[in-house]
Amino acid sequence: MTQETVSIDQPLTLPCGVVVKNRLGKSAMSEALGTRDNRVTGKLATLYRRWAEGGSGLLVTGNVMIDRRALGEPNNVVLEDRRDMAALKAWAQAGTADGTQLWMQLNHPGKQSPSMLSRQPVAPSAIGFSNPALRRFFATPRALTGAEIQNLVTRFATSAALAREAGFTGVQVHGAHGYLVNQFLSPLHNQREDEWGGSLENRMRFVCEVYRAIRASVGDDFPVSIKLNSADFQRGGFTEEESMQVVQRLGELGMDLIEISGGTYEKPRMAGQDAPQSTREREAYFLDYAEQVRQRVSTPLMVTGGFRTTAGMQAALASGATDMLGLARPLALAPAMPREVLAGRAVTSEVKPIRTGIKPVDDMAMMEVSWYTLQLDRLGRGKAPLPDASGLGSLLKVLGVVTWRRLRMGRMRA
């Protein structure tokens, strides 16, 4: 297919043979709509039915954790066994309406597990955050043993198989934004001296083994994807050149779709922070990187981050650098935006920077994440989003939940 013939409404055939009905994909956002003990709720089915009916060809869930001992946020969903199979099937049925692809994003936070949830997180190496503000919320991790690493590989595969059994039509490994897979890839966070660390070949061993295990558990006809950082944007971290080598390797192994993002909690480029003005104007934050990757691989790519207008999406697709257009925050405010775009309307998203007026807070990516999480909660309750909701008010609500969780955990440990 030539660049000139590709349009947003055209289907995309993946290497495994599955067809995505159009080029619009909802990228993962953390919903935090699980129960206190991390089980599936009906809000997830309500939310994903709205998105499926909104016209996207692909929906990727927020991160579902593979180990209940390692949570990224309160109210994460954990998938280790069949205890929630009925609720999972209801979620999958809702999210696959109108022929929509629904992929479950699988994740382990590594050291990005808040201290209120994990007193002793695990990571490739016992290296904490360098940012003083983040050190207040995240404990220094313990280095994983070799046996524990193998166990985590198995857990990814188990969760993927359960997702397929429940009716999800694919899975995505979260390998970006500073979570565990990204930590293994980064020489800044992975300073192991065994076969899991050191050279890039060793640092990418974990993600390659996770892919192989998942593929063996779900078969060759089931989409397996990854969300991968173009770079960490940290001195001494995972670089663009290293990322391109990982993309090449994963493409050779048979990955069906590679979603490109970038940044970490410490350098939140995925939220557009510190992005050059020229990049903001182009809308797609990571399109320059995708253009370079396209010269190396034929694996389908999805670029996420920054899309706000129909024109920006059309231009990115016409460039030939990306096969799918990843949307996240715009769909928290307008779940049916894809239908408008597919109808050829000149759409402009209502997304705008969220500010509390407190600069240290405004500089942290997690503040905006919290604001959007509250919007998803409204959608999950069948209500309309509130695009003018106060950033400070949303922050205070989230802090109230965090304080309550800390007090509850303190009583449980007493």
The b/e string for 197-208 (b: 16+ C-beta within 10 A; e otherwise) is: beebebbbbbbb
Residue 280 confidence class, pLDDT cut points 50, 70, 90: very low
Q: What is the pLDDT of residue 275?
A: 47
- For all residues of the chain together, what is the average pLDDT? 89
Cα 414 to Cα 394: distance, rounded to the nearest angstrom: 31
pLDDT tens for residues 138-187? 999 999 999 999 999 999 999 999 999 999 999 999 999 999 999 999 99
Residue 285 is predicted with a pLDDT of 82
Average pLDDT estimate for 382-395: 83
CATH number of 7-353: 3.20.20.70
pLDDT of 238 > 50? The answer is yes
Tens digit of each residue's pLDDT (9 = 90 or more) over 322-380: 999 999 999 999 999 999 999 999 999 999 888 777 777 666 666 788 889 899 999 99
At residue 131, the 3 state secondary structure works out as coil
pLDDT of 322: 96
CA–CA gap between residue 108 and residue 156 (Å, rounded): 9
pLDDT in tens, 180-224: 999 999 999 999 999 999 999 999 999 999 999 999 999 999 999
Residue 269 has a pLDDT of: 45
CB contact set of 272 (below 8 Å; sequence gap of 6+): 280, 285, 305, 306
When pLDDT is cut at 50, 70 and 90, the band that residue 408 belongs to is low
Domain edges within the chain: 7-353
Q: Which of 11, 17, 42, 164 is nearest to 102 (CA)?
A: 164
Between 58-62, 158-162, 273-277, 299-303, the lowest mean confidence (pLDDT) is in 273-277
With bands split at pLDDT 50, 70 and 90, how would you rate the model's confidence at 3?
very low
Structure tokens at 58: 């692909």
**Local structure of residue 321 (DSSP, 8 states):** S
Which of 268-272, 289-293, 346-350 shows the lowest mean pLDDT across its residues?
Answer: 268-272
Full-model pTM: 0.91
